[in-house]
Each structure stands twice: as structure tokens, then as C-alpha cells.
Amino acid sequence: MCRALSNLGLIQYDKLHYDSALFYFNQVMSKLDADTLATEQKDYILTGLYNNLALLYMDQNEEQMALRYLRQGLILANRVDDQAEIARLKAELRRVSEERDILKKAAVYFAKDHG
């Protein structure tokens, strides 16, 4: 059930229907809360889900939310020792941090020249 909901969320994300994607991703989280899966299975599912949420928030220029989900996903990926997801999450964290730094530098530059 969680995989199907997550896939529906990804389809909506690919179509740039962010509100619908968020709805399905939140459905996965609520199902996991009520589910009787083992903790490790839940952590594994949440790791991917947090990465998807981070990507969604990055696309909406909500860096703080993206960073929050990337960090949470990284904690869970380490817990379940998912090396591929750890590498993916670290790369996304670097990318978001670099983009944020570029935006900060641009803001400072324009404030000096146009302020």
C-alpha cells in the first residue's frame, strides 16, 4: 500500500502537481504510523520518502524544508545502512547547501550594488 501511494506521489511530482504529490507522500507517512511493519522496514521506506519530499521542497524553493527532510533521511539511511541512499542524500545536501550559498552571495552582491 505504501509503495503504491508513494508511486502515485512520484507521478504527481513528475507532472509538477506538487500539492497532489505532497498529499500522497503524507498518506504514506500516515499509513506507516498505523502499520505494524518492523522499525527497520519503516525506516527504509521513510528514507526514500524523505528524499522525495526534499526534492519536492527544493523544486518549490523551500530550502529549509528540503534540508530538514534530507537530514532526517540521512539519519534513517545510516540507521538501516542503506549506502546508496546515504550517497544520494549527501549529494542532495551538498547541492542544496551550494545553491543556498550562491543565493546568499547574490543577495549580498545586489545589496551592495543596488542598495
The 10s digit of each residue's pLDDT in 61-71 is 898 899 899 88
Q: Coil, strand or helix: which one is 27? A: helix
Amino acid 92: pLDDT: 84
Judged against a pLDDT cut of 80, whether residue 113 lies above it is answered with: no
CATH code, domain carrying 90: 1.25.40.10
Q: Which is higher by pLDDT, 11 or 39?
A: 11
| pLDDT tens digits, 27-40 | 998 888 776 678 88
The count of structural domains within the chain is 1
| Dihedral (CA of 4, 76, 14, 9) sign | positive
Range of the domain at 108: 2-114
* Backbone angle region of 16, left / alpha / beta, with phi > 0 → left and psi within -120 to 50 → alpha: left
Spatial contact of 70 and 50, defined as CB atoms under 8 Å apart: yes
